Amino acid sequence: MNNLETLAIELKTDINKLTLTQASELSALKTVYLGKKGRITDLMKAMGSLAPEDRPAYGKQVNELRDLAETLFQEAEKKVEEAQIQKALISSLDLSLPGSSQGYGSLHPLYQVREETLHFFRGLGFELAEGPEVETDWYNFEALNIPAHHPSRDMQDTFYIDTNVVLRTQTSGVQIHTLEERKPPLRIIAPGHVYRSDSDASHSPMFQQVEGLVVDQNISFADLKGTLYLWVQYMFGKKAKIRFRPSYFPFTEPSAEMDVSCTICNGKGCRACKNSGWIEILGCGSVHPRVFQAVNIDPEVYTGFAFGFGLDRVTMLLNSIPDISLLTRNEIPFLKQF
């Protein structure tokens, strides 16, 4: 029994002495103890020479010694494997090479312009408002002074779900939802997707609009011009100029289209602005009295202005993007520019 205890101590000492840098050293030591002619194997063979009454206790201790040896060798083999992996990594690693960095994502250019716009109008006291993208005929047309026979419906290129439900063609319906829920005074800014059956280099069947509405007593067209002038200077720079041209929209009277001086040629005239020096950017006007009447607001007491522009077009102008479809293709080389 004393020999078994001594052998256990020697086993632990021999394993601890190994450098564990090469598997061959460990394999040779394992053969010394657990091989066919190993020291522990010889102890098992010696059991036959013992008296029958001594064999159970002796056999138990030899089995415990063998289990200990197998456990210690398994742990040592694992350490040798880890050491070899570490050595291979160090030998193949060139510390003089520059490190590789992980690229960072960023906001899509459309949403960069969207957030900048919302930031500006929030600074003027506008509240964010939203509405459904699937609208009834009432909110998309009727309440905005566009009855069934109105020719402007033909200009909308509408996607109809059925005769009374459409994919909204404009964010102006948010005006009606808001004015039904709240009474003036109010200032809202309403971004969102709109849908029209139209597709070319500057038009998409789905795009984003931003709608603005101000309603209070004594609101004039001059308030509209001043607000939009400040926004253009904020987005396009202090040198940007604007001009208003008379136009027609059923839900505003008077109505206008606003142009901004071309950002590509600085108003000198180029292909992008058709040599005019100006690019149309939005429609606007004073809220039509019939819109107020549709939501039970007295047009004799309250006035207001509204404007709406395509976020896609503004993004294209700010970044000189030639084709609107680039904004929805999700092409990585294009998006990396932003």
Q: What is the total count of domains within the chain?
A: 2
Answer for the pair 58, 47: CB distance below 8 angstroms, yes or no. yes
Quick one: tokens of 297? 């607001």
- Residue showing tokens 């394992």: 30
**Shared-domain flag, residues 144 and 275:** yes
Report, in this order, helix, strand and coil percent for the chain, each rounded to 5: 45, 20, 35
Does a structural domain hold residue 22? yes
Residue 81: what pLDDT?
84
**Shared-domain flag, residues 186 and 238:** yes
State which residues form the domain around 297. 109-335
Does a structural domain hold residue 103? no
Residue 73's alpha-carbon distances to 4, 11, 62, 64, in angstroms, are 18, 10, 16, 14
Q: Give the angle subtended at the CA of 177 by the CAs of 168 and 137, to the nearest 5°.
A: 40
Does a structural domain hold residue 99? no
**Shared-domain flag, residues 26 and 148:** no
Answer for the pair 213, 186: CB distance below 8 angstroms, yes or no. yes
Does a structural domain hold residue 145? yes
Taking the C-alpha atoms of residue 156 and residue 144, their distance in angstroms, rounded to an integer, is 13
pTM: 0.65
Answer for the pair 178, 188: CB distance below 8 angstroms, yes or no. yes
**Shared-domain flag, residues 228 and 304:** yes
Does a structural domain hold residue 65? yes
**Shared-domain flag, residues 44 and 163:** no
Q: Is 68 helix (H, G, I), strand (E, B) or coil?
A: helix
Kindly tell me the burial class for residue 59, based on how many C-beta atoms sit within 10 Å of its own C-beta (0-12, 13-18, 19 or more).
Answer: middle
Last residue of a domain, one of 92, 119, 140: 92
Residue 241's CATH number:
3.30.930.10
**Shared-domain flag, residues 264 and 325:** yes
Does a structural domain hold residue 97? no
Answer for the pair 169, 196: CB distance below 8 angstroms, yes or no. yes
- Please state, as a whole number, how many other Cβ atoms lie within 10 Å of the Cβ of residue 187: 20
**Shared-domain flag, residues 234 and 311:** yes
**Shared-domain flag, residues 307 and 198:** yes
Q: Is 164 helix (H, G, I), strand (E, B) or coil?
A: coil
Q: Phi first, then psi: what are they for 199, rounded to 5°?
A: -155, 120
Last residue of a domain, one of 63, 92, 121: 92
Residue 156's alpha-carbon distances to 52, 167, 314, in angstroms, are 105, 11, 20
Last residue of a domain, one of 29, 57, 92: 92
Q: Give the angle subtended at the CA of 140 by the CAs of 136 and 146, to the nearest 5°.
A: 120
**Shared-domain flag, residues 151 and 277:** yes
Element (H, E) at 14: helix 2-17
Residue 200: what pLDDT?
60
Q: Is 110 helix (H, G, I), strand (E, B) or coil?
A: helix
Does a structural domain hold residue 101? no
Does a structural domain hold residue 161? yes
**Shared-domain flag, residues 116 and 68:** no
**Shared-domain flag, residues 70 and 218:** no
Is the link from the previous residue into 185 a cis peptide, with omega within 30 of 0? yes
Taking the C-alpha atoms of residue 175 and residue 172, their distance in angstroms, rounded to an integer, is 5
- List the chain pLDDT tens, one digit each, 338 residues: 567 777 778 878 887 777 656 677 778 878 888 887 778 777 777 777 778 877 788 778 878 888 888 888 888 888 888 887 877 777 777 777 787 777 778 888 999 999 999 999 999 999 999 999 999 999 999 999 988 887 767 666 788 888 889 899 889 999 999 999 998 999 999 999 999 877 665 567 888 899 999 999 999 999 999 999 999 999 988 888 889 999 999 999 999 999 998 877 777 777 767 888 888 889 999 999 999 999 999 999 999 999 999 888 888 888 888 777 888 888 888 888 88
Q: How far is CA 217 from the centre of its chain?
A: 41
**Shared-domain flag, residues 88 and 132:** no
